[in-house]
Amino acid sequence: MYMIILSTLAHIVDVNLKLDRRTVNNMSTPFDRVANGLKYLVVHHTASEAPLLESWNPYGYDYPEYDYGVDLDGTFRVGRPLTVKGAHCLPDNYPYNEISMNQKSIGFVLAGSFDKRKALDNQINQAAYNIGRICKKYGLPISRESIIPHFKASATFCPGKNTIDRIYKKLGI
């Protein structure tokens, strides 16, 4: 079932997705991340040129892997609820491997493969605007310590150095 709410002012699409698929690897476990203390917002890219609705749930979880995202055309999307355990970050880098990042963070994704190309300006603008809004809403500092690229927590190049630097610049950090 898809419920789509469009807002022309902020170009937001709320995709309240509860997909009719089986729960995979316990990744739809109820867990209130907000009540249990969020520490990070982790920025990702899909590593695919497909739109978010086709690419942000590759493993068939009940919800997308990511909580929020920006599509190829700059549309902001809402995916996995924060009342469900996250499914976006399995950390191997210290100190992030010391905590459950999927219980302590918000996953934010940009559609695209930024090891092959730069994120579009409209994606960076929407990402920075909405990351700032989300951090304020959930009490996360707007800082490089709280808003981290996936590559800081895990052995990956996601979302690309240029992408996170451009988001930081827009956020003024």
Of the candidates 101, 113, 62, 77, the one whose C-alpha atom is nearest the C-alpha of residue 5 is 77
**pTM, two decimal places:** 0.85
The larger pLDDT score, comparing residue 131 to residue 24, is at 131
Reported confidence tier of residue 145, pLDDT bands at 50, 70, 90: very high
How much is the average pLDDT of 50-60?
A: 90
How many other CB atoms are found less than 10 A from the CB of residue 129? 16
User: Is the CB of residue 147 less than 8 Å from the CB of residue 135?
Assistant: yes
**pLDDT 10s digits, 7-45:** 333 444 444 444 434 434 567 789 999 999 999 999 999
Give the residue ranges of DSSP H helices in the chain. 52-55, 101-104, 121-138, 150-153, 161-171
Q: What's the mean per-residue pLDDT of the chain? A: 87
Domains of the chain, with CATH numbers? 32-171 (3.40.80.10)
Residues ≥6 apart with Cβ < 8 Å to 121 = none
Q: How confident is the model at residue 2 (pLDDT cuts 50, 70, 90)?
A: very low
